[in-house]
Each structure stands twice: as structure tokens, then as C-alpha cells.
Chains A and B, each alone.
Chain A
């Protein structure tokens, strides 16, 4: 019996003339994601992508698991391929669904006949197949309102498909369909979640991280690289830019008032990020800021940071509570890594009493006391890039 995976599109079905480009992007993402599992034929028709393994005996569990994390997909299911012949459909349904039907109490049959040439109409298919399944599985009764199992028969162009389990997809838009943006990745809980949220909207993610040895350690960087790798499950390949930041942080410490350390540091990080973003063709920056979470994330502080930005800064977590962010971090499996206790660049020289409502004029004045430009240029020049692709 041949089993395949049917992939149902999310909101991209609503797209108009450029729907095709979304479809192509999704197909490409699916191909890349499951390539290492074996050979597949991947085709699209009628707002559905068919993943057909060359090997008829392949276990599709891992395929479903991986594809379930790809954005742009509303739902997916494993389905049995049948001839467009009612007897074959019946025979295969009984065999393919025997496990799930013999342990259920109620069911219904649902039929979708997109090929109108098929001689039976949908209600007929439901009635006939329902009757046969009732006979074969005496444990079952029909419940059309709230069944435990819904057996779906789809009569499509070349084949018919039978399945009983719909798995919720990751939703969103195919990664890459919205362009590319640069994620400021610190190693904390929030920034990986921010990256995940933007990837969900079809944004291809690049990441930038700042290291300040000896104030930060190799382990801190390794931890961020691990986070990057975890994000690839959802975001696809990620270019990881690592900026040497020690000299800049020391210069801030030596030349600026303590209460402004963090804000000035963030302004300089943004400056560097947008220069690298330009190099990497990114159209925007992404941060994990959430209003009011810490002193540097008050509205006043964010507007001081934003004042240096020439491209949009997306903050997908801006209105979320920490608990909500943590929930997503756990779901995407970045939480455990994020909470490893290594010092990151954001906590080096943290002022004891940071300014909560800084005025832009004061910040600019404080920052202008020292010419950071040569150090910025040097940092950008010495930034190193690594790429991460799927962790498995």
C-alpha cells in the first residue's frame, strides 16, 4: 500500500496572481527540509502539495515531523493512495485505517470529489463507504456531529486518497517569500522567539551576534550558535554574523556616563547591524524587545535606539509578556539553551541605575563626546560569517 503526505496550504491560498511564487517557495523549502530522509517526488496541484516517497515502504513519521515545522502550511496528513475505483477505495480504507478504526467508538466519512468525472457523488461515497466500515468494524457507530475519527476520501486528478488524521501545520507564509531581515541574537530567551515569529511571516532570517572577549566567553558564542541551529528547523538556513565588540564596549565604559551605557551600546549595535544588513541584502532588523521589560526597552529608550535606524526594526514580541514568550521558546525548543548561564554582551558593564526615560538629546550629547566611527568601521570589517543549515 502506498502512503504519501498531503500538504494543505495556509493563507497563501488567498494570494492572487503571485500565488505561484509562494507555492514554488514552499515546494523548495519542503524539498530542502526532507532531502536527507530519502528521495521524494514533490508536486503541487489544487492548493495541495503531494510528497511521494520513491520507496513505498518508507516510514513517513519523520517526514511529517519535519514538514510540520515548515511555515506556509495549514495542515498535513498521511494518506493512502487508491485507484479511482470505489472497490479499491473500500478495500484500502479497511486495511489502511484498521488500527485507528478498531480502537475508536464513533466515526464519520467525509468525501471531496474534485474530479467530477468520478461516477459517484460525494454523499453517495460517504453512505456506501460508511456502511461498509460499519460492517467491518462492529465497535463503531456513526456520529456526524462530533466523531472521534473522520475518514476523508479525496477524489482528485490522477488518484483517490484516503486519510483519517489531519495534523495542524505551522501556519504563516513560506520562509523567503517576504524577503530577508537581520535578527539581533543575544543568546537570551527573547531573540530566538522573535526570529521564529518573523520567519512565520515568510521572512528569511540572518542573525547577528556581538562578542566581547574576555567579558564574554567562547561558550556564550557557542550557545548562540546552538540557538541558530535550533532555529533552522523553522527558519531554514541562517547566515550568522559575529561582531567583535570588546573595544566598543570598553570605549563606552571609558567615555560615557554610566547611566547611558546600555542605550548607547544598543544604538551602536543597531548601527553595526544595519551596515551588515546592507551587506547581506536584509531589508529590516528584528529584535526581541518587549515594551517595558527592562530599562532599555521602555518606550523612551526604544525611541532613542530607533533614532539611529535607517531601515525598519521589527519587534514581534513588543506586546507580549515574558510568560507568553517562554511558552513559545519551549515550543521551539530554544528555552533550555537560552537559560544556560553564560555572560552575554548585553550584561557586560550593566549600569547599576540605568536611565529609564532617557532623552534623545542627552544620549546624543553623551555619545558625541567620543568618535565611535573608526571603531564601528573596524568592528564591521572584522565581523565573521558562518552559515547554519538544518540541524538534522
Chain B
């Protein structure tokens, strides 16, 4: 039996999502733009998913735009906003621990001549709203922050920051990458004070290839993909009805149980930390107030890639940082003050509410064995 503890990389699609895909590829295969009934039925499936996702974020259906995934959503948010407002205002503010799809996009915009300010955590490893506010000025076009860090589970003070920014500079566009928070902690556009929110399907038991960008009514973005003016011209291209339906079905399933699952996973994290405390040489890198779904630990100074493959031999799957950057050293850990051997030996365990204590036992035992056996 394999133990999958890499749910921050991707999750197993739930049966409801699989059924939705199947229906849309076998029965409801029309093009939502077609005028006949087959097209209408496909459009209704898309509308249904849009409504479910809108409700789950306290948004209006008209504010939900489907994309190919959160990477595209983040690109569209940053590039689209700079396209719309960047002529007058040149500054982009991001946190220093953003996912590559924000960080690299900001870097690309920087090369085009925009100014990018990266706000780092303080020595205690935490972010503070006033540090972001300090960087803000009349020249700031957009501020982008992730809600939950994908490598450590740190929860960033997004709502507080965006509120204080909006109070002083109401015209600044606020964007939040909520990929690792969505369906795990409450994500409400209103309480985050976010103009734009990026979401991903495959992190919430839907399937890969589907994402959402929430764009608050009245906020303008210049589209990156042009064509048949689907998604109100913001994202052209025939809607992927199977993937959109799957996303909707997964959210429909998981949205009502966010707080129950949070409690359960908090218990699992507590259990995991107890088990890990029995092992010599473990340092826990995730703070206590982090999202319980992600636990980052450094394991006895053993290089994380080797530990990962050691665990893999026992069919236990974890990550050695962000799976998107295979083999690359994580600059994010360093930002959080995790350096040297601790950074080299950092592994990420990411759970779901379906994770069991037995699985965590298997992991802890294997980790202990790995620390003993691995040379170097």
C-alpha cells in the first residue's frame, strides 16, 4: 500500500470529479458556444461549476474566470493588471516567498521596466502587514501575496495587509494566490479584501489543467490569450467542460466541510509532530500557526533528495520542496530562515483529511530508518 503525503503537489481526484469528467467526455461533449441544445447543455455544466466556485469564495458568478491552471491565473493577474494600469503606475509589490508563477512573472515584468519590490519575513519568520504597507506608494499598481506558502505552510497576513493597503491607497490592485489555502482554510474575496484570487483545481481533488482567476467587478485586466472571446474576452479558447465540471464537483463536495477537515488535519499534524519528536535530529521548519496541511521538517542532515528516494522505495511519497522546481534549491526556505544543512535536508509532508495515523506511523518509522541508514 502506498502512502501519498505529497498533497501540496497534487491530490487524488475525488470520485465526483472523475464522474464529472466522464460525463462531459462521453455524454455532454458539446461546445458551450454552440447555439444548439448540445451547446446549451455544455454551457449549463460550466455555469453550474462557476456558481459553485463563486459561492465558495463569496464572489459573484460573473467574477469567476476559468483558466488552464493557477500558473496561468497568476500570469493573467499580474500581466493583465500591469497591462491595464501599468502606464501610470510602475510598481509591483510581492512577498519574497511567492510561488514561481508569481515570482518569475514579476521578474519578467521587471525586465520590461517595471519596479518590483519583494517584501521578506522578519527574523521571526513571520510577515507583517506594516512591512508591505511601508513599500506602498502612489506609484504602486498591484500587490500580490500568497495565502499559504506551499513549502512550509506559513499563513501570510493577507487580509490584514490588503485592508491596510486599500485604506491608504484604494487604487492599488490586490491579488492573492490562494492555491494552497483554498478548501483548507476559508477563502473569501471580501474578508481577504482581494481584487483578484488565483485557484487551482488539482490541489483540491479535481483534475490538472484547470484553474480560476477571480476578478472583482470593475477591475480591468488585459487578456493574455485572445481569440473567440470566451470568458467575456478575458480568456479566449473553448472552455474545457470536463475539467471545469470536475472542479465544480470537487468544490461542491469539499466546501461544506472546511472547518471539520481543518480540525481533523490539525489533529493529524499534532500526531505527526509527536511521532517526529521521538526521532533524533529532526527540526520542524513549519511554525505552529501554519496551515496544518503542510509540515516541513529537516531530517537529520540527510540530503532531502536521497531521503525522498529512500522513502519512495517504501512507496511513501513526500516532497523535497516545491515539486515544480525539481532538483533546484529552494530560496523560499532561506527566506524563512531555514539555511545550510537544514535547507538541504528539508522535506515536505502534505496531508489531506483522508490521511490516517497509520500512514503517518509508516512515514515516521521509515524516516527514522532513513536517518540511520543513509550515508553522507
Contacts and interface: CB of A to CB of B under 8 A. Distances in A.
Interface stretch (A93-101, A157-165, A341-349): A341-349
Contacts of A348: 376
A325 to B, nearest CB: 23
B313 A213 contact: yes
A215 to B, nearest CB: 5
Interface string B294-332: 000000000001111111110000000000001110000
B310 A214 contact: yes
A342 B327 contact: yes
Nearest to B307: A214
Interface string A313-346: 0000000000000000000000000000111000
B376 A214 contact: no
Interface string A213-224: 111111000000
A250 interface: yes
A213 B309 contact: yes
A343 B328 CA distance: 12
Nearest to B309: A214
A343 B305 contact: yes
A204 to B, nearest CB: 34
Nearest to B326: A341
Contacts of B375: 250, 253-254, 349
Interface residues of B, number: 16
A214 to B, nearest CB: 3
Contact of A217 (B305, B370, B374): B305
Nearest to A220: B309
B305 to A, nearest CB: 7
Query: Interface on chain B toward A: helix, strand, loop, or mixed SS?
Result: helix
A348 B313 CA distance: 18
Classify chain A: how many residues form its interface, as a range: 10 to 19
Contacts of B313: 213-214
Highest count of chain B CB atoms <10 Å: which of A213, A218, A253, A349: A213
Given A253-B376, A349-B376, A341 B306 contact: no
A49 B144 CA distance: 67
A349 B327 CA distance: 17
Interface string A182-197: 0000000000000000
Nearest to B376: A349
Nearest to A251: B375
Contacts of B312: 214, 217-218
Contacts of B310: 214
A215 B309 contact: yes
Contact of B309 (A217, A253, A254): A217
A291 to B, nearest CB: 29
Interface of B: 305-313, 326-328, 370, 374-376
Interface of A: 213-218, 250, 253-254, 341-343, 348-349
16 contacts: A213-B309, A213-B313, A214-B307, A214-B309, A214-B311, A214-B312, A214-B370, A214-B374, A215-B306, A215-B374, A217-B312, A218-B312, A250-B375, A341-B327, A342-B327, A349-B376
4 tightest CB-CB pairs across the interface, nearest first? Answer: A214-B309, A214-B310, A341-B327, A253-B375
Given A213-B309, A214-B313, A341-B326, 11 more contacts: A214-B306, A214-B312, A214-B370, A216-B309, A217-B312, A218-B312, A253-B375, A253-B376, A342-B327, A343-B305, A348-B376
